[in-house]
Structure formats: structure tokens, C-alpha cells
Amino acid sequence: MVAKLIDGRAVARKVRGEYKLRVDQLLSQGVRPGLAVILVGDDAASQVYVRNKIRACDEIGIHSQTIRFASDTPQSQLIDTIQALNADPSIHGILVQLPLPKGFEMGRVLETISQDKDVDGFHLYNVGGLITGSTVFPPCTPYGVQKLLESEGIPIEGQNVVVVGASNIVGKPMALMLTAKEATVCICHAKTRDLAQFTILADILVVAAGRPNLILPQMVKTGAVVIDVGINRLPDGRLVGDVDFDGVRLKASYITPVPGGVGPMTVTMLLCNTVQAAERRLLSARAG
């Protein structure tokens, strides 16, 4: 068996095309969706991520604004800026690029973002909504994985799902989102004993650990769907995921490549959440 590649770039293009039409609809009603991105410090990777997000906004007609702060900016100034953006009607989504430099209280900063503008989905309200099924803005990376599964028509209900990685931004929300779709979900992490005894049971295996070659072919059930969220830069400069791609693709039914799998979906889902935030505001303004 050779796995079918899930082409994240192609799915991302299609979803962006759909949302561009929704932006056009909003424009025709006098609303231009707006995203504010706050970047604190000069972390090189964060600069690249922010640039990509801004470029993606431009491409589908979302107005964007980047606000930069030095790493020694007082937290109170950051909080004041977020509060001003909460009140700004031209801004529908607010994103604080993580990680924040040392000294900032991430929770306090994220809780300042209005839950109606929390397009990264990291506010406690939206995180809690993952438990009750009432989240407004799902976090972008797991939301992107869910879209990839949908795009291939891969059933989730009743499937055994194993999520490797239990971070607050990928692993845990992923597990909750697939539980809500009635999968039977197991979450593994660095303290899991004998990872393979869990991964081998997975009909759908989602890996987000940040460890190259963590998942080897003998750890994967024949015919499994394998979603590789990991992004790792090897010493020779190559970008790889967490899965032994060449080995596992001979056993899986579907697999995502790195790069070109989950990565393009993360920014895409940020665009989707921003457009949805603008649509929600328009609806509630109409409702009075």
C-alpha cells in the first residue's frame, strides 16, 4: 500500500478561495474584515510567521495591521493596546504572536483579548468551549487538521484516534475537537510509556510532538490515516515532520507531507476565523 498524499497547499487554496468570496460579500455590505497582529520582541521565526499571516490577509482582501513592541515594553502598554483594539470597529480579529518574551504573563495578555475577536482561539472562553462544543473560534492548527480530514471525506465518528503531543495549542484541542466528532481519542505525551502500544491502534494518528522520526512504520497500523503536524529543522537544513515519511507512507492509507501538509492550513484557518468574526459582528449589529 502506498498512502495517498493529502495536499495541504491545494486544500488551503480551495478554502481561501471560498473565504475570498465571503470577504467580497462583506465588502458589498460595507464591511472590510480587519486583523490586528501584535508582535513583541524580535524572535526571527515569529517575524516570518507574522509576515506570512499579513501576506495571506492581503491575498483575500482582509485589512491587516501589525503592531510591534520592543521586548522591554511594559506589559501594561501591551494590555492598553489590546483594549483599544477591542474597542476599534475596524478590527474584527486580534492575534498576539507567541511566544511572548520572558517577563510577560501570557495568560493575562490573552485573556485581555475580547472573546469576540479571539481569532487564534486561545482565550479561556474559546478553550473552554472546546469542552462544551460551543467554541466560537477553534485554534487554527487543529482546525486545519480537521479541515484536511473533511477534505478527503475521512470519517471520524467511531474511529480510534491517537494524538501524540498534548500542548495547549495543538494536541489537547485536537483531541477535544475529534472527541466532539465522536471519535475514541487517546492523548500521548513525553511521559507515555511505550508509545507504540497506543499508536498501533490508531485509525487516525495525529502527531504533534516536535521530534523528527518519532513515528516509525512498525508503530503504525496498516491503512491508518497519518497527519504529521511536526515541523523540525534538521542540522543539514532540511525541514521534516515527526513521522518517518518514506517508511510510513508505504503502510498508511493517507499521509500529510512536511512541508505542504498541515502548515498551509494553519494560516488559512486564521483567515477563516477572522472572516467569521466579521460576519458575526455584522449579524449582531443587524439584530440590534
CB of 191 to ligand NAP, least distance (A): 5
Residue tagged active-site, from 7, 116, 118, 120: 120
Active site residue 147: no
CB of 283 to ligand NAP, least distance (A): 29
Binder of ligand NAP out of 61, 210, 247, 260 (CB under 6 A): 210
Binder of ligand NAP out of 192, 200, 280, 282 (CB under 6 A): 192
Number of neighbouring beta carbons within 10 Å of residue 61: 17
Please identify, using beta-carbon distances, which residue of 214 and 275 lies nearer to ligand NAP.
214
Please identify, using beta-carbon distances, which residue of 129 and 165 lies nearer to ligand NAP.
165
Binder of ligand NAP out of 138, 165, 173, 257 (CB under 6 A): 165
What does the alpha-carbon distance between residue 87 and residue 85 come to, in Å, rounded to a whole number?
A: 5
Tracing cell 483599544 back to the chain, one arrives at 84
- Range 34-63, binding ligand NAP (CB under 6 A): none
What does the alpha-carbon distance between residue 56 and residue 75 come to, in Å, rounded to a whole number?
A: 28
Strand, helix or coil at 233?
A: strand
- Which of 277, 282, 274, 283 is closest to 62 using CA atoms? 274
Binder of ligand NAP out of 171, 177, 225, 226 (CB under 6 A): 171
* Separation of CA 43 from chain center: 20
* Separation of CA 98 from chain center: 13
Tracing cell 511572548 back to the chain, one arrives at 100
Active site residue 97: yes
| Residue ranges that bind ligand NAP, judged by CB under 6 A | 141, 164-167, 169-171, 188-192, 195, 208-211, 214, 229-232, 262-263, 266
What is the set of active-site residues? 53, 97, 120
